[in-house]
Structure 1
Amino acid sequence: MGDDHPTKKSDWLRTAIMTIVASGSPSARASNHTHFVVDQMGRAIVAGEYPPDTMIPLDPDLCEMFDVSRTVVREAKKTLAAKGMIASKAKVGTHVRPSDEWNMFDEDVLRWHTSVKSPGRFYDELFEIRLIFEPAAAASAARRANEVDCDRLFALCDSLASAASRADFAVADYEFHHHVLKLSGNRFLQSLGDMVQTALYSLFLIETGEKFQEVKAEVAQNHRAIARAIASGLPEAAHTAMLKVITEGHDRTRATA
């Protein structure tokens, strides 16, 4: 049940994480691309520059703002509408929908939330949903996992403990949680794995140096407790250990926010 291309996946994940922690605009400012307009408008909406129920600029203004064609603007608006973020009315214009109507499982919507300077509510909600499904996944994994599966978990714990950078640490952490979800055998739980990637952004809030080394060792030890419980076939212990990891991760994030 291991990964067929672990190196390729790690490279992709590292790029994704570094994109998440980037300060804002895409590196390639191709202003004639729909993706650029979607990204800029999405970030602005999530940041509150366009509050719920307010109107976004008219198409001609957006064309001038981003130096793009009306076709690009229309396609960008269609994309944002599909994410549940905006809605258009004939002869009225396009307004921002309330945030509880946004598709929070959309990869872009999640990414835009991580770029907000004070994403307190986002982190609280994200960790709340993690508390619902990840301990259950760990318990299910303890009922199903075999020796090879558990070897992979312990190897990832070693990667956590030996990580030379926060980026390496975040990759190992993501892969550990993703593997637990996979071992649960539940395809719905596996589909939620992308949320874990976004949650890893919180690890970048940890300071470097001695403090990072202390936190790194503690987190690695706590993840090893999950691996031991799964390897021993102890669902309740795996549930409890996962609960501890998520709760302490949340506490660290809130303390440094």
Structure 2
Amino acid sequence: MGDAGKTTNNDWLRRSLMTLVHGGADRASNHTSFVVDQLGFAIVAGEYPPETMIPLDPDLCEMFGVSRTVVREAKKTLIAKGLIQSKAKVGTQVRPADGWNMFDQDVMRWHASVKNPTRYYEELFEIRMIFEPAAAAQAAGRVNQIDCDGLFSLCDALEKAESRADFALADYEFHKQVLRLSGNRFLQSLGDLVQTALYSLFMSESVATFPERRKTVVDRHRTVAAAIASGAPIEAQEAMRRVINDGYRNALSDKAAPAS
């Protein structure tokens, strides 16, 4: 992925994190994006169950205060994401969940935002456990000194991050760099999934417990970097497994904890 793609992804993650930090966003200036976000989340949250109809266009226009053109464009976007389908003389119906595009950034973000996303975390954990440890092992046999320096620099960025948002961005860059160093283009293309996974974990992370966990997270990432730099694929693979497992366990423990 080129620099332009990297910038776009980072901007997406930063905007998402800033929205969370500041307690939610105002109505988006892009009305189509606003409608997509509201309807998409409502569908994922179960407000419109599979095989039910969403409101008619005039009702959606009134609901969101937008034009029919905006509603039509929003529906096209949701159709492309696999959430809905339009049927002639019937209307627009919500598709079964197994037909949704789970690699879509918005679909993953909506899942992470629902009240009890336990199953989502489980599935995310399973898929990351399949490809990220393998990427770390691959990277251990391919890196040079410059690559290793870059990984350790990202660990330094994690340690020095002044906010949780900056920490999450550095974390994402580290994981994406490991995917890149694997040398496998298919693994590299999964960077967006990791990005949204880390956004999800950021959302679940308790503000109170974050400082306590921070050092452990940094140390775990340094262990991954050290194993890759040493050309030790098995150690790199196991170290990455620990990183992912810790994040998954923390996400579930925070979700299960009573609200303060």
TM-score (norm 2): 0.89
Deviates more, 1:10-19 or 1:55-64: 10-19
Q: Secondary structure at the match of 2:213?
A: helix
Deviations along 1:87-109, one digit per CA (max 9) or x if unpaired, are 11111111100111000111221
Task: Tell me, yes or no, if the aligned pair for 1:20 and 1:114 is still in contact at 8 Å.
Answer: no
Unaligned runs of 5+ in 2: 256-260
The change in CA–CA distance for 1:129 and 1:9 in structure 2 (over 3 A counts) is closer
TM-score (norm 1): 0.90
Aligned partner of 1:213 in structure 2 is 211
CA–CA separation in structure 2 for the residues paired with 1:221 and 1:18: 26
The change in CA–CA distance for 1:89 and 1:4 in structure 2 (over 3 A counts) is closer
Unaligned runs of 5+ in 1: none
Task: Tell me, yes or no, if the aligned pair for 1:23 and 1:115 is still in contact at 8 Å.
Answer: no
What amino acid does structure 1 have at the position aligned with 2:77? T
- Of 173, 179, 184 in structure 2, the residue corresponding to residue 186 of structure 1 is 184
Aligned partner of 1:144 in structure 2 is 142
Instruction: Return the offset for 1:72.
Output: 2.0
CA–CA separation in structure 1 for the residues paired with 2:91 and 2:223: 54
Aligned partner of 2:69 in structure 1 is 71
Instruction: Return the offset for 1:206.
Output: 3.0
Aligned partner of 1:38 in structure 2 is 36
Aligned partner of 2:163 in structure 1 is 165
Aligned partner of 1:17 in structure 2 is 17
Instruction: Return the offset for 1:182.
Output: 0.7
Instruction: Return the offset for 1:123.
Output: 1.2
Deviates more, 1:155-164 or 1:78-87: 155-164
Task: Tell me, yes or no, if the aligned pair for 1:160 and 1:173 is still in contact at 8 Å.
Answer: yes
Aligned partner of 2:53 in structure 1 is 55
Task: Tell me, yes or no, if the aligned pair for 2:50 and 2:97 is still in contact at 8 Å.
Answer: yes
Q: Secondary structure at the match of 1:130?
A: helix
Instruction: Return the offset for 1:62.
Output: 1.2
CA–CA separation in structure 2 for the residues paired with 1:4 and 1:70: 33
Count of residues paired in the alignment: 254
The change in CA–CA distance for 1:22 and 1:106 in structure 2 (over 3 A counts) is farther
Task: Tell me, yes or no, if the aligned pair for 2:52 and 2:94 is still in contact at 8 Å.
Answer: yes
Alignment root-mean-square deviation, CA: 2.5
CA–CA separation in structure 2 for the residues paired with 1:12 and 1:214: 27
Task: Tell me, yes or no, if the aligned pair for 1:20 and 1:111 is still in contact at 8 Å.
Answer: no
Task: Tell me, yes or no, if the aligned pair for 1:142 and 1:234 is still in contact at 8 Å.
Answer: yes
Aligned partner of 2:258 in structure 1 is none
Aligned partner of 1:203 in structure 2 is 202
CA–CA separation in structure 2 for the residues paired with 1:90 and 1:22: 42
Task: Tell me, yes or no, if the aligned pair for 1:20 and 1:115 is still in contact at 8 Å.
Answer: no
What amino acid does structure 1 have at the position aligned with 2:196? T
Instruction: Return the offset for 1:66.
Output: 1.7
Q: Secondary structure at the match of 2:141?
A: helix
Q: Secondary structure at the match of 1:144?
A: coil
Aligned partner of 2:254 in structure 1 is 256
The change in CA–CA distance for 1:43 and 1:21 in structure 2 (over 3 A counts) is farther
Aligned partner of 2:130 in structure 1 is 132
The change in CA–CA distance for 1:6 and 1:112 in structure 2 (over 3 A counts) is closer
Instruction: Return the offset for 1:29.
Output: 3.8
The change in CA–CA distance for 1:140 and 1:2 in structure 2 (over 3 A counts) is farther
What amino acid does structure 1 have at the position aligned with 2:54? I
The change in CA–CA distance for 1:169 and 1:217 in structure 2 (over 3 A counts) is same
Instruction: Return the offset for 1:8.
Output: 9.2
CA–CA separation in structure 2 for the residues paired with 1:82 and 1:8: 20
Task: Tell me, yes or no, if the aligned pair for 1:63 and 1:69 is still in contact at 8 Å.
Answer: yes
- Percent identity between matched residues is 65
Deviates more, 1:114-123 or 1:1-10: 1-10
Task: Tell me, yes or no, if the aligned pair for 2:137 and 2:236 is still in contact at 8 Å.
Answer: yes
Q: Secondary structure at the match of 2:93?
A: strand
Aligned partner of 1:222 in structure 2 is 220
Instruction: Return the offset for 1:38.
Output: 1.3
